[in-house]
Amino acid sequence: MSHVPENTVYGGPKPQTSDQRFILNQLKQKYKKGEPITVVTAYDYPSAVHLDTAGIDICLVGDSASMVVHGHDTTLPISLEEMLFIAGLLLVAPNDRFLLVTCLLGPMRPTPVSLGYEQAVDTAIRVLKEGGMDAIKLEGGSPARITAAKAIVEAGIAVIGHVGLTPQAISVLGGFSPQGKNVSSALKVVETAMALQDAGCFSVVLECVPAPVAAAATSALQIPTIGIGAGPFCSGQVLVYHDLLGMLQHPHHAKVTPKFCKHYARVGDVINKALFEYKEEVTNGSFPGPSHSPYKMNADGLNGFFEVWTKQHLRQLLQLRR
């Protein structure tokens, strides 16, 4: 809630309505009723407000920020500290959505008793405490990752798994390549999703897999699947905020925008047009005009100001000539 009074020049966020907060139990109820779950990424206060206004179920602080916010070609350069900073930007928004963040974990040793799992749990706890999130998203389906997911869940933290194309593992996958395109790979996608369910994950993201493979996983699981480039048969869908809005209209972003993304708008074109118009109006002197110069003085105040200013200005000129 903002401390800025409503009648000041700059406005602030409205009080949050905690009774309307979208929580995990509501998510599970939607799944049981067969109602599709909507997920969109957000990286700052304005995007979080837009998601809340639209009633999007889950607001994901994705590592995709590395690409669409920081301008990198992959998600790898972003750090945990940067993710926590972005998460903090969402907390000040009047947001009633379920808040989810990608949890960045480094390589872990292959045994459950290793220090790696303790660090995984510590990182997840830090994300919830410092980032203020409701749950974490954990990429990968290796035995070490599944054990880490189980350890985090047993520590009392809600986890959503992520299989198929996992952007944090592109060095192993050989780039941003779709998964599940042959028999062994397809079976691995479904089996890994089931293993994550057994580890206690409340949902699984399926990224860049053929629609029949996603359908098989969705049918096999008793938890919701969230598809991204995985066809229409998942329990819900997720897209990147900048992608679905057509926010970035330039060759570099066109190169990295995924084929599966639908542009629901071309916001980038609107932004560019507005900026060009602003530049033109400032250049030709038409902005700001009378309607955008709202602050006035009454006649007595204005005359008094000019009288005092003229005397001071004249005195300064006389002093300079001495």
- Give yes or no: 154 in active site: no
Annotated active-site residue in 207, 277, 280, 307: 207
Please say whether the beta carbons of 162 and 134 come within 8 A: no
For the beta carbon of residue 278, count every other beta carbon within 10 angstroms: 11
Tell which residue, 74, 57, 53, has the closest CA to residue 65: 74
Please say whether the beta carbons of 203 and 154 come within 8 A: no
For the beta carbon of residue 218, count every other beta carbon within 10 angstroms: 22
Question: What does 12-65 look like in DSSP terms, one character per residue?
Answer: -PPPP-GGG---HHHHHHHHHTTPPEEEEE--SHHHHHHHHHHT-SEEEE-TTH
C-alpha torsion sign, points 50, 52, 55, 60: positive
Please say whether the beta carbons of 131 and 84 come within 8 A: yes
Active site positions, annotated: 207
